[in-house]
Copies of this chain bind each other. A is one copy, B any other.
Amino acid sequence: MKQSINTVAITGGTHGNELTGAHLVKHWLSHADEVKRDSFSTELHLTNPKANQSIRRYIDQDLNRQFSLKDLKDSKLKGVEQLRAKSLNELLGPKENPRVDFIIDMHTTTANMGMSLIFNSSDPLVVGMAFYVKQKMPHATLFFNPAERLEDNFLTSMGRLNGFLIEVGPIAQGLLNYQVYSDTHAAVMHGLDYLESRNMGQSISLPNQMVGFQFIKKVPLPQNENGEITAMIHPNLQDKDYHAIEPGDPLFITMAGETIAYQGESTVYGAFINEAAYYDQNIGFSFMEKINIVLKDNDH
């Protein structure tokens, strides 16, 4: 007998300058029929209204890194987003035994990542949702970033059965784009439909495995001794999210026009290439590896 889903939270504006999710939450607040399903209740939350009002990613800290159990319990963490995470822990959690069963968190990126379905759990319910949405939207990419739920610092980890992050790009911060908005809308609809089918015990035909990408590490932008960046993403790499990067391929180009190549010995793949939000840590992009993602207990 599978655990049933009673409560799903759809969250937007976790990063205050990613307007798509915030506006979808507002839209659904007045069009509740679109997110209503018979077998569970759906909640809508604007998760960082202060940052959203200022059209900034965050006021003090990145909210989507504040949800580890350790940090939620640390009363010394009192920044705007650290306090907001504690409020959300009361609203959705508590993390050790959450009230909310599943969280769908909507994000955008300045990187050319198309629709990326980011999930941190290998639980069949979560992986099954990723496979289901990708079946419906074949241009989507599966992005696996494994983490133990209580240690995981993403908002999605606040769900009892975990959650699912929809990340769509490229789009600049601080604006709306119809294609990004409607793609995100469609992915949430499919996600809710999937949970409804699971709840109802309906058979869903899903493959046993699908190709995806697993996060390896973040790659810093070259910088000088003062911490100032000295190079940009190389034009050959720009917009090439999820393409292969082979040894010797260009990664960066300095302000003076010199190429800096990949020195590794194995094929990797890029993601979050030139994400504006990561410039605060001088991060240029992420290395990913291509993997087969397995759906356990696939019972179609």
Contact = CB atoms under 8 A, between A and B. Distances in A.
A20 to B, nearest CB: 10
A80 interface: no
B238 A274 contact: no
Interface in A189-242: 228-229, 232-235, 238
A255 B180 CA distance: 12
Interface stretch (A44-52, A118-126, A153-161, A171-179): A171-179
Interface in A52-104: 55-56
A256 B19 CA distance: 16
A27 interface: yes
B173 A174 contact: yes
Given A31-B256, A172-B170, A232-B177, A55 B280 contact: yes
Given A172-B172, A173-B172, A178 B253 contact: yes
B235 A178 contact: yes
Given A170-B172, A255-B27, A274 B55 contact: no
A116 B255 CA distance: 22
A260 to B, nearest CB: 12
A249 to B, nearest CB: 15
Contact of A178 (B56, B179, B238): B238
Contacts of A277: 174
Given A177-B238, A238-B178, A276 B232 contact: no
A179 B27 contact: no
A276 B23 CA distance: 15
Given A232-B181, A238-B178, A173 B27 contact: no
A175 B110 contact: yes
B178 A232 contact: yes
B110 A274 contact: no
A111 to B, nearest CB: 9
B31 A232 contact: no
Interface string A245-284: 0000000010111000000000000000011110110000
Contacts of A234: 178
Counting from the closest, the 8 A-B pairs by CB-CB distance are: A172-B172, A174-B276, A110-B172, A175-B276, A176-B232, A178-B235, A27-B255, A178-B232
Given A175-B276, A176-B229, 9 more contacts: A27-B255, A27-B256, A110-B172, A110-B174, A172-B172, A173-B174, A176-B232, A178-B238, A179-B238
